[in-house]
Structure 1
Amino acid sequence: AMPAQFVFAADSHTNTAGAIGAFAQGMGATDIAAMLRLGRTWLVVPQPFKVEIRGSPPPAVTGKDVALHLLSVFKAEGLNGYSADVYVERPRDFPMDYRATVANMSTELGADALIFVPDEETKAYLEKARGAVYAIDFKPSGKYADEYAVELGMLEPLVAAPHSVDNIKSIAEVEGVEVDQVFIGSCTNGRLSDVEAAARILKRGKAKARCIAVPASHTVFRQALEAGYIDVLTKAGCVVTYGTCGPCIGGHFGVLGPGEVAVSTSNRNFLGRMGANDSKVYLANAYTAAAAALEGRVTDPRKYL
């Protein structure tokens, strides 16, 4: 994907490509098949929505907390019919990994798309990934139907409690909840910065809860291995697997049993999502997830940083 491209795929979290400035949207198999056959598709033009991300994130606050904050404000499906343009005030303080997480969870917000307006961070990312120099020239057109500003300095690590992505709680509200399993991975938070965040916490000791770490790609796995993060995680007792949806969809590598509780860095915590119908899933960032693994209960990760 590239800035200003239209990207469509048969995956509900295709919109992750909005992180680099693409209009990306998941579609059903029938629509995708028709697109492959005809080379075109149709869309209802969404209402334009403006989001500003201001300031710098405090310790243990990541793109996941921005996504959860937006869900606390707009609720699940609250941006249905909108395409959000996201402007980052301090591009270097909100890197591509964070942007990918926010774009990814725009599905849960119901947005038709969420597009990070290309900036110097986008340019640097593309030049490193593609080995070519790119000119970024974005000129917004028209007026926005609505606007919202996220003040990063006001955020803290957040959690989506069972069984809804917009059941947002502060760490203090859920601290002490006992945890059976922690999942660090998925298309939401399986990137290098997430593995690094987990390693920063888990270098302090052995995990008291089952811990499953799933780097999102072989490239991320290799980078984490070379940086020493995989060694830290395995010494803490975590199981590290190849890239897969796995536990997120209750498929394998960590299906929850009856009554079990998990902290997951994934994007959905619906009833029965990760296993048994009476299991519970708390969504959080990688710092919070790793701290939960370390203590065997939900806890504030900031004390370990």
Structure 2
Amino acid sequence: MLAALAARICPDDPVSGLDVTEVPDAAAPGNRPDWSVVQVRAAALNHHDLWSLRGVGLSADQLPMVLGTDASGVVVNGPDDGSPGAGSDVVVYPVIGATGHGVGATERRSLLSERYPGTLAEHVAVPSWNLVPKPAELSFAEAACLPTAWLTAYRMLFTTAGLRPGDRVLVQGAGGGVSSAAIALGAAAGLEVVATSRTAAKRDHALAAGAVAALEPGARSPVRVDAVIETVGAATWSHSIRSLRPGGTVVVAGATSGDQPGAELTRMFFTELRVLGATMGSRDDLEALLRFLVRSGLRPTVDSTHRLADARAAVARLASGEHLGKIVVRP
């Protein structure tokens, strides 16, 4: 089958480490009895793919590795255990080992493309427990955008921060996958969303997605917020802390600008702030996110769609930072 691989670790030029080539088919006989094979109809890129090509979380002795964490598709085969059967439309939950399903209770948690081949291929094999029925209301491309960035944003807003309609939230770095999802989800749920971005185009996109204000990085927020969605790190940390109301919460799910921020410890203890971490979300969160999109009519923005054979161009667009929304790859 055709697949996009991390073939080489290239810290300074991650795109050059990507090969699109034939690999053994995941649908071939011999899969584990409690795993299913999915024919991938759409996969979406994430910065995780770039980090893997740079060698972050993926070592040279694990190469070649099929990239990709997000996918939707159609079940080809699997066990008769109550999970979606052959012909079912599904979304793939990409966390392996979180509960022991399909891998045993002692295996540490990982994402697809870290220990097991990922979704940028014609077929992907996953534990059957990881399959979530795809709502008919969502296209394969829309559904493929959800399991990493949108799921993380959903968990940060509603599970970790516990925000409710009418609450105020600041989203740093509006162009990122998690951040742009948080703006759209927050606005659809009745939150008052303030966003930041370095570029005017991405600030305009944030306003179109429902933000009440879109600021340049570091600009004073028009309101003190109940929570901050923080994925940028050192470059925005002080601004995040200073934008919170007393007792507010920063939820951290990344540090693309580095993880050595000025701690602002005096302000943190004096105003009794909370700092919480979030990584991905649970399978239950993914099911809730799917229901939310069906009922609200909200859909992820697809920046562009590429053939699997052109996966290098798709990853290059992700690396450029010029995209607005998710980049989708179709086998």
Measured against the shorter chain, the TM-score band is 0.3 to 0.5
Larger fraction in strand: 2
| TM-score, scaled relative to structure 2 | 0.35
| TM-score, scaled relative to structure 1 | 0.37
- State the structure with more CA Rg: 2
